[in-house]
Amino acid sequence: MNTNNELRAVLFDVDGTLADTEQDGHRLAFNAAFKQLNLDWHWDIDLYGELLQITGGKERIRHYMEKYAPAALNKNDLTDWIISLHKTKTKYFESLMENGSIPLRPGVARLIHELRQERIRLAIATTTTMENVTALLKSTLGEASIDWFDVIGAGDIVPMKKPAPDIYHWVLNQLQLTAQQCIAIEDSENGLKSALAANLPTLITVSGYTRLQDFSGAAAVLSDLGEPSQPFTKIRGTFDQQWVDYQMLSKLINC
Protein backbone atom coordinates (compact mmCIF):
# COMPACT_ATOMS: atom_id res chain seq x y z
CA MET A 1 0.00 0.00 0.00
CA ASN A 2 1.40 3.38 -1.06
CA THR A 3 0.18 6.13 1.26
CA ASN A 4 2.48 8.92 0.08
CA ASN A 5 0.16 10.49 -2.46
CA GLU A 6 -2.53 13.04 -1.67
CA LEU A 7 -5.36 13.42 -4.18
CA ARG A 8 -5.00 16.80 -5.87
CA ALA A 9 -7.05 16.49 -9.07
CA VAL A 10 -9.64 14.33 -10.83
CA LEU A 11 -9.43 13.98 -14.61
CA PHE A 12 -12.72 13.15 -16.33
CA ASP A 13 -13.33 11.64 -19.73
CA VAL A 14 -16.54 12.97 -21.34
CA ASP A 15 -18.39 10.69 -23.77
CA GLY A 16 -19.74 7.68 -21.90
CA THR A 17 -18.25 8.91 -18.61
CA LEU A 18 -19.97 12.19 -17.79
CA ALA A 19 -23.01 11.26 -19.88
CA ASP A 20 -24.16 8.44 -22.14
CA THR A 21 -23.68 10.60 -25.20
CA GLU A 22 -22.84 7.98 -27.79
CA GLN A 23 -25.90 5.92 -28.80
CA ASP A 24 -28.56 8.63 -28.58
CA GLY A 25 -26.31 11.65 -28.99
CA HIS A 26 -23.32 11.48 -31.30
CA ARG A 27 -24.79 8.62 -33.38
CA LEU A 28 -27.99 10.55 -34.08
CA ALA A 29 -26.01 13.70 -34.87
CA PHE A 30 -23.82 11.84 -37.36
CA ASN A 31 -26.89 10.44 -39.11
CA ALA A 32 -28.51 13.88 -39.27
CA ALA A 33 -25.35 15.31 -40.83
CA PHE A 34 -25.25 12.49 -43.39
CA LYS A 35 -28.85 13.23 -44.34
CA GLN A 36 -28.17 16.96 -44.70
CA LEU A 37 -25.28 16.24 -47.07
CA ASN A 38 -27.40 13.76 -49.07
CA LEU A 39 -25.23 10.80 -48.10
CA ASP A 40 -26.87 7.37 -48.08
CA TRP A 41 -24.94 6.43 -44.92
CA HIS A 42 -26.70 5.31 -41.74
CA TRP A 43 -24.96 4.27 -38.55
CA ASP A 44 -27.23 1.91 -36.62
CA ILE A 45 -26.61 1.00 -32.98
CA ASP A 46 -24.48 -2.07 -33.68
CA LEU A 47 -22.40 -0.42 -36.40
CA TYR A 48 -21.75 2.59 -34.21
CA GLY A 49 -20.56 0.28 -31.44
CA GLU A 50 -18.02 -1.12 -33.90
CA LEU A 51 -16.96 2.35 -35.04
CA LEU A 52 -16.35 3.43 -31.44
CA GLN A 53 -13.18 1.35 -31.51
CA ILE A 54 -11.81 4.35 -33.42
CA THR A 55 -11.42 7.40 -31.18
CA GLY A 56 -12.21 10.83 -32.59
CA GLY A 57 -15.15 11.78 -34.80
CA LYS A 58 -13.16 12.76 -37.88
CA GLU A 59 -11.05 9.64 -37.56
CA ARG A 60 -14.26 7.59 -37.24
CA ILE A 61 -15.65 9.08 -40.47
CA ARG A 62 -12.46 8.27 -42.38
CA HIS A 63 -12.38 4.72 -41.01
CA TYR A 64 -16.00 4.18 -42.06
CA MET A 65 -15.20 5.43 -45.56
CA GLU A 66 -12.19 3.16 -45.86
CA LYS A 67 -14.19 0.11 -44.81
CA TYR A 68 -17.71 0.75 -46.09
CA ALA A 69 -17.60 3.56 -48.68
CA PRO A 70 -14.17 3.43 -50.36
CA ALA A 71 -15.38 5.19 -53.54
CA ALA A 72 -15.92 8.34 -51.48
CA LEU A 73 -12.20 8.47 -50.67
CA ASN A 74 -11.64 9.90 -54.15
CA LYS A 75 -13.14 13.25 -53.18
CA ASN A 76 -11.04 16.32 -53.80
CA ASP A 77 -9.73 17.87 -50.59
CA LEU A 78 -10.87 14.81 -48.63
CA THR A 79 -9.48 16.03 -45.31
CA ASP A 80 -11.28 19.37 -45.59
CA TRP A 81 -14.50 17.59 -46.59
CA ILE A 82 -14.33 15.34 -43.52
CA ILE A 83 -13.70 18.38 -41.30
CA SER A 84 -16.75 20.11 -42.80
CA LEU A 85 -18.93 17.01 -42.33
CA HIS A 86 -17.79 16.73 -38.73
CA LYS A 87 -18.59 20.39 -38.06
CA THR A 88 -22.12 19.83 -39.38
CA LYS A 89 -22.45 16.83 -37.08
CA THR A 90 -21.22 18.92 -34.13
CA LYS A 91 -23.99 21.48 -34.71
CA TYR A 92 -26.62 18.74 -34.50
CA PHE A 93 -25.00 17.36 -31.34
CA GLU A 94 -24.96 20.80 -29.72
CA SER A 95 -28.66 21.14 -30.52
CA LEU A 96 -29.36 17.85 -28.74
CA MET A 97 -27.44 19.13 -25.73
CA GLU A 98 -29.27 22.46 -25.68
CA ASN A 99 -32.59 20.61 -25.69
CA GLY A 100 -31.55 18.75 -22.55
CA SER A 101 -31.85 15.42 -24.34
CA ILE A 102 -28.85 13.83 -22.62
CA PRO A 103 -28.51 13.98 -18.81
CA LEU A 104 -25.40 13.36 -16.75
CA ARG A 105 -24.83 9.81 -15.52
CA PRO A 106 -25.68 8.89 -11.91
CA GLY A 107 -23.36 10.47 -9.36
CA VAL A 108 -21.52 12.81 -11.73
CA ALA A 109 -23.01 16.12 -10.60
CA ARG A 110 -22.87 15.10 -6.92
CA LEU A 111 -19.20 14.09 -7.14
CA ILE A 112 -18.18 17.24 -9.04
CA HIS A 113 -19.84 19.45 -6.42
CA GLU A 114 -18.22 17.48 -3.58
CA LEU A 115 -14.77 17.69 -5.14
CA ARG A 116 -15.14 21.44 -5.50
CA GLN A 117 -16.05 21.70 -1.81
CA GLU A 118 -12.94 19.66 -0.96
CA ARG A 119 -10.87 22.01 -3.17
CA ILE A 120 -9.83 19.16 -5.45
CA ARG A 121 -8.96 20.42 -8.90
CA LEU A 122 -11.05 19.28 -11.85
CA ALA A 123 -9.89 18.59 -15.39
CA ILE A 124 -11.18 17.02 -18.59
CA ALA A 125 -9.22 14.77 -20.94
CA THR A 126 -11.24 13.79 -23.99
CA THR A 127 -11.04 13.14 -27.72
CA THR A 128 -14.33 14.95 -28.36
CA THR A 129 -14.33 18.60 -29.47
CA MET A 130 -14.27 21.58 -27.16
CA GLU A 131 -17.65 22.59 -28.61
CA ASN A 132 -19.14 19.26 -27.51
CA VAL A 133 -17.63 19.57 -24.04
CA THR A 134 -18.96 23.07 -23.44
CA ALA A 135 -22.40 22.19 -24.83
CA LEU A 136 -22.70 19.24 -22.44
CA LEU A 137 -21.45 21.12 -19.39
CA LYS A 138 -23.67 24.15 -20.00
CA SER A 139 -26.80 22.07 -20.63
CA THR A 140 -26.34 19.91 -17.52
CA LEU A 141 -24.40 21.95 -14.93
CA GLY A 142 -25.05 25.51 -16.10
CA GLU A 143 -23.10 28.26 -17.86
CA ALA A 144 -20.69 28.78 -14.96
CA SER A 145 -19.55 25.15 -14.92
CA ILE A 146 -16.94 25.67 -17.64
CA ASP A 147 -14.89 27.66 -15.15
CA TRP A 148 -15.03 24.87 -12.56
CA PHE A 149 -12.45 22.93 -14.60
CA ASP A 150 -8.86 24.12 -14.28
CA VAL A 151 -7.90 22.41 -17.54
CA ILE A 152 -9.94 21.12 -20.47
CA GLY A 153 -7.99 18.98 -22.90
CA ALA A 154 -10.20 18.28 -25.91
CA GLY A 155 -10.27 17.53 -29.63
CA ASP A 156 -7.14 18.01 -31.70
CA ILE A 157 -5.08 19.74 -29.01
CA VAL A 158 -2.66 16.80 -29.15
CA PRO A 159 -1.57 14.88 -32.28
CA MET A 160 -2.39 11.35 -31.09
CA LYS A 161 -5.77 10.48 -29.61
CA LYS A 162 -6.65 7.75 -27.11
CA PRO A 163 -5.43 5.03 -26.57
CA ALA A 164 -2.25 7.11 -26.88
CA PRO A 165 -1.48 8.90 -23.59
CA ASP A 166 -0.89 12.32 -25.20
CA ILE A 167 -4.06 14.01 -23.91
CA TYR A 168 -3.35 12.93 -20.33
CA HIS A 169 0.28 14.03 -20.53
CA TRP A 170 -0.91 17.41 -21.81
CA VAL A 171 -3.49 17.83 -19.04
CA LEU A 172 -1.02 16.80 -16.32
CA ASN A 173 1.51 19.27 -17.70
CA GLN A 174 -1.08 22.05 -17.62
CA LEU A 175 -2.05 21.15 -14.05
CA GLN A 176 1.64 20.90 -13.07
CA LEU A 177 0.87 17.75 -11.11
CA THR A 178 2.24 14.23 -11.19
CA ALA A 179 0.10 11.29 -12.26
CA GLN A 180 0.33 9.89 -8.73
CA GLN A 181 -1.47 12.97 -7.37
CA CYS A 182 -4.45 12.42 -9.67
CA ILE A 183 -7.03 9.88 -10.74
CA ALA A 184 -8.71 9.46 -14.12
CA ILE A 185 -12.35 8.45 -14.55
CA GLU A 186 -13.04 6.63 -17.83
CA ASP A 187 -15.63 4.32 -19.38
CA SER A 188 -13.78 2.55 -22.20
CA GLU A 189 -10.83 0.25 -22.83
CA ASN A 190 -9.17 2.84 -25.07
CA GLY A 191 -9.59 5.46 -22.36
CA LEU A 192 -8.12 3.12 -19.75
CA LYS A 193 -5.13 2.33 -21.97
CA SER A 194 -4.54 6.05 -22.48
CA ALA A 195 -4.68 6.84 -18.76
CA LEU A 196 -2.55 3.86 -17.72
CA ALA A 197 0.07 4.76 -20.32
CA ALA A 198 0.31 8.12 -18.54
CA ASN A 199 0.69 6.22 -15.21
CA LEU A 200 -2.67 7.46 -13.92
CA PRO A 201 -4.70 5.40 -11.46
CA THR A 202 -8.01 4.91 -13.25
CA LEU A 203 -11.58 4.30 -12.15
CA ILE A 204 -13.90 2.79 -14.77
CA THR A 205 -17.65 3.35 -14.89
CA VAL A 206 -18.84 1.15 -17.75
CA SER A 207 -21.30 2.45 -20.34
CA GLY A 208 -23.67 0.67 -22.68
CA TYR A 209 -21.11 0.19 -25.42
CA THR A 210 -18.17 -0.75 -23.16
CA ARG A 211 -19.52 -3.29 -20.66
CA LEU A 212 -17.71 -6.25 -22.22
CA GLN A 213 -14.35 -4.56 -22.80
CA ASP A 214 -11.09 -5.47 -21.07
CA PHE A 215 -10.43 -3.29 -18.03
CA SER A 216 -7.31 -5.01 -16.74
CA GLY A 217 -5.26 -2.58 -14.68
CA ALA A 218 -8.15 -0.39 -13.54
CA ALA A 219 -8.22 0.60 -9.87
CA ALA A 220 -11.91 -0.34 -9.81
CA VAL A 221 -14.69 -1.10 -12.29
CA LEU A 222 -18.23 0.05 -11.44
CA SER A 223 -21.62 0.39 -13.11
CA ASP A 224 -21.56 4.15 -12.44
CA LEU A 225 -20.52 6.61 -9.73
CA GLY A 226 -23.62 5.86 -7.67
CA GLU A 227 -25.87 7.96 -5.45
CA PRO A 228 -26.90 7.46 -1.81
CA SER A 229 -30.35 6.60 -3.13
CA GLN A 230 -28.98 4.60 -6.08
CA PRO A 231 -25.82 2.64 -5.16
CA PHE A 232 -23.46 1.54 -7.91
CA THR A 233 -22.98 -2.10 -8.86
CA LYS A 234 -19.45 -3.27 -8.14
CA ILE A 235 -17.90 -5.14 -11.06
CA ARG A 236 -14.33 -5.25 -9.77
CA GLY A 237 -12.70 -3.78 -6.67
CA THR A 238 -12.41 -4.20 -2.91
CA PHE A 239 -14.29 -1.58 -0.89
CA ASP A 240 -17.43 -1.22 1.20
CA GLN A 241 -18.75 2.07 -0.14
CA GLN A 242 -21.85 2.29 -2.33
CA TRP A 243 -21.17 5.57 -4.12
CA VAL A 244 -17.96 7.23 -5.26
CA ASP A 245 -16.86 10.17 -3.14
CA TYR A 246 -13.70 12.09 -2.29
CA GLN A 247 -12.65 9.55 0.35
CA MET A 248 -13.00 6.62 -2.02
CA LEU A 249 -10.97 8.32 -4.76
CA SER A 250 -8.27 9.16 -2.23
CA LYS A 251 -8.01 5.50 -1.28
CA LEU A 252 -7.91 4.34 -4.89
CA ILE A 253 -4.86 6.42 -5.79
CA ASN A 254 -2.91 4.78 -2.97
CA CYS A 255 -3.74 1.17 -3.78
Non-local CB neighbours of 140 within 8 Å, separated by 6+ positions? 18, 19, 102, 103, 104, 109
Coil, strand, or helix at residue 117?
helix
- Provide the β-strand partners of residue 123: 11, 151
CA-based angle 252:200:144, to the nearest 5? 85
Residues paired with residue 150 on neighbouring β-strands, in sequence order: none
Vertex 120: Cα angle to 250 and 180 (nearest 5):
50
Active site positions, annotated? 13, 15
Cα 215 → chain centroid: 15
Instruction: Report how far residue 187's alpha carbon sits from residue 27's, in angstroms, rounded to the nearest whole number.
Output: 17
Contact 187, 207 (CB under 8 A): yes
Residue 173 neighbours by CB distance under 10 Å: 11
